[in-house]
């Protein structure tokens, strides 16, 4: 069986690569992490036509804010206030001999390209060079999404009947925190196993860290710095809170460990305050991103720890005691972990080894994605497995190797054929 698949893959590889480059050529970037909208529409329409040509039954599912709001209440998952004009999920259903369902999940949105002048070529003009396919979204994650679709095509090109039900879920707004997949699950998407087609560094990923983004605003009293003592420097007060958060991170590093994930972190990513060197600033805002561990830590506990630090720093300062910082959470996602002995993990490991002829590494990832949603909200056995490397995500001159892309078409096809075993 594998020989037939490999032969057909080699025979049709130009066509399979062409579909990927055509998808990369479509601008599908998220705008303002989805808050201001996204350009996924044309990419989704391209996939709709492709899925229908392959014989799939395709559902177009506009995003409804009420489902995101409900998920936030019920599951602590969901990012409010996003613009969904002309943005929709696609669900491609392919019937097989068995009703057992294998789901492939991928997101259509990309991050913006950054400074286009720094790109060697236009981000939306895919370039093939020395075995690599360059273009925005090549790795994150149009390569994985298209590989899952081409796996179905490869099986059909070989004249093999699908042994089970295959579902392709192409979502919007993943870069904004996962609202596309959240919406699909709230609308009832189910499966017996799922693959998140994100780049996995040639590993099988069975766990990732949770994340919480806080914005913290500290006030002060502004005046000319010549009489600084009569004002209150908001930046200096913010530093007190930041030092408290650094101490919290240190405590976490000593307390929480995981066998396949790094220790929890608190990153001070943005700080804004002041208007001039001669003026005492009356406002300082900073943003932090927290990554925390599955099972041994929770969203509620992490949130509580951060708020406690802010409160303690405020109580210990004469000004902040009566003018405590304001804080809000503007994006969050839970942690994810599958048991290493889970039967689905074992099947994926067996398939990978059969195609690659070597034992795969089974590890965790510091980067969060939609795996948490499928596992935590719908209890679907899930792995992260896809072409490409994390260091190619959100970068100038993003690329994926042709060999890597084609290899994962083969891995996904073999997983589809072995899923009932």
75-132: per-residue pLDDT in tens?
999 999 999 999 999 999 999 999 899 999 999 999 999 999 999 999 999 999 999 9
Say if residues 386 and 200 touch (Cβ distance below 8 Å). yes
User: Residue 279 — φ and ψ, nearest 5°?
Assistant: -120, 130
Contacts by 230-237 with C-beta closer than 8 Å and gap 24+? 231/280, 231/282, 232/280, 232/282, 232/319, 233/280, 233/281, 234/273, 234/274, 234/281, 234/282, 234/283, 234/284, 235/273, 235/274, 235/281, 235/284, 237/284, 237/317, 237/319, 237/320, 237/325
Instruction: Say which residue the tokens 């790109």 belong to.
Output: 119
CATH topology for 210-333 is Alpha-Beta Plaits (3.30.70)
Per-residue confidence (pLDDT) for residue 106, from 0 to 100 = 98
> Which pair of tokens denotes residue 9?
């893959």
Per-residue confidence (pLDDT) for residue 2, from 0 to 100 = 78
Per-residue confidence (pLDDT) for residue 99, from 0 to 100 = 86
What class does CATH assign to 2-208+336-418? alpha beta
Asked, colleague to colleague, whether 2-208+336-418 and 210-333 share their fold, the answer is no
Chain segment 186-224, per-residue pLDDT in tens: 999 999 999 999 999 999 999 999 999 999 999 999 999
Q: Average the pLDDT over 68-78 and give the result.
A: 94
Band (pLDDT 50/70/90 cuts) for residue 164 is very high
Q: Average the pLDDT over 308-336 and give the result.
A: 95
Band (pLDDT 50/70/90 cuts) for residue 316 is very high
Per-residue confidence (pLDDT) for residue 390, from 0 to 100 = 87
On the question of pLDDT at 367 being above 90, the answer is no
Per-residue confidence (pLDDT) for residue 133, from 0 to 100 = 98
Pairwise CA distance, residues 68 & 115, whole Å: 32
> How many Å from the N-terminal Cα to the C-terminal Cα in the chain?
15
On the question of pLDDT at 421 being above 70, the answer is no
Give whole-number Cα distances, 331 to 34, 49, 66, 81, 175, in Å. Answer: 11, 33, 17, 11, 11
Q: Average the pLDDT over 293-300 and give the result.
A: 95
Boundaries of every domain in the chain:
2-208+336-418, 210-333
Residues in CB range of 270: below 8 A, 6 or more apart: 285, 286, 287
Chain segment 135-153, per-residue pLDDT in tens: 999 999 999 999 999 999 9
Structure pTM?
Answer: 0.92
Q: Report percent pLDDT > 90 for the chain.
A: 95
């Amino acid at each position: 069986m594998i020989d037939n698949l490999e032969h057909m893959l080699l025979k049709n590889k130009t066509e399979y690569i062409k579909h990927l480059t055509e998808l990369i050529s479509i601008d599908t970037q998220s705008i303002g992490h989805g808050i201001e909208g996204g350009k996924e529409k044309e990419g989704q329409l391209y996939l709709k036509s492709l899925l229908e040509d392959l014989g799939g039954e395709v559902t177009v599912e506009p995003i409804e804010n009420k489902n995101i709001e409900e998920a936030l209440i019920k599951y602590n998952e969901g990012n409010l206030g996003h613009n969904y004009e002309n943005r929709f999920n696609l669900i491609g259903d392919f019937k097989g001999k068995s009703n057992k369902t294998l789901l492939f999940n991928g997101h259509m949105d990309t991050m913006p390209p950054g400074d286009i002048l720094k790109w060697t070529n236009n981000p939306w003009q895919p370039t093939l060079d020395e075995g690599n396919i360059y273009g925005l979204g090549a790795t994150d994650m149009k390569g994985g999404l298209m590989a899952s679709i081409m796996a179905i095509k490869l099986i059909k090109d070989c004249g093999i009947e699908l042994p089970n039900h295959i579902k392709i879920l192409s979502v919007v707004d993943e870069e904004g925190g996962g609202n596309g997949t959240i919406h699909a699950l709230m609308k009832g998407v189910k499966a017996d196993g799922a693959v998140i087609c994100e780049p996995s560094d040639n590993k099988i990923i069975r766990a990732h860290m949770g994340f919480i983004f806080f914005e913290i605003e500290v006030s002060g009293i502004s005046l000319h710095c010549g009489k600084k003592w009569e004002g209150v420097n908001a930046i200096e007060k913010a530093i007190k809170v930041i030092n408290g958060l650094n101490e919290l991170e240190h405590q976490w590093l000593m307390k929480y460990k995981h066998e396949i994930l790094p220790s929890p972190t608190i990153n001070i990513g943005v700080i804004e305050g002041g208007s001039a060197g001669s003026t005492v600033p009356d406002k300082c805002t900073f943003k932090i991103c927290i990554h925390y561990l599955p099972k041994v830590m929770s969203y509620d506990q992490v949130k509580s720890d951060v708020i406690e630090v802010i409160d303690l720093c405020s109580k210990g300062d004469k000004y902040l005691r009566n003018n405590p910082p304001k804080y809000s959470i503007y994006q969050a996602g839970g942690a994810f972990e599958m048991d290493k002995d889970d039967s689905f993990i074992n099947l994926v490991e067996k398939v990978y080894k059969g195609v690659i002829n070597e034992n795969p590494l089974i590890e965790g990832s510091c980067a969060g994605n939609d795996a948490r949603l499928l596992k935590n909200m719908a209890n679907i056995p899930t792995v992260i497995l896809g072409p490409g490397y994390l260091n190619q995500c959100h970068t100038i001159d993003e690329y994926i190797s042709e060999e890597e892309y084609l290899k994962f078409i083969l891995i996904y096809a073999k997983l589809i054929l072995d899923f009932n075993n």
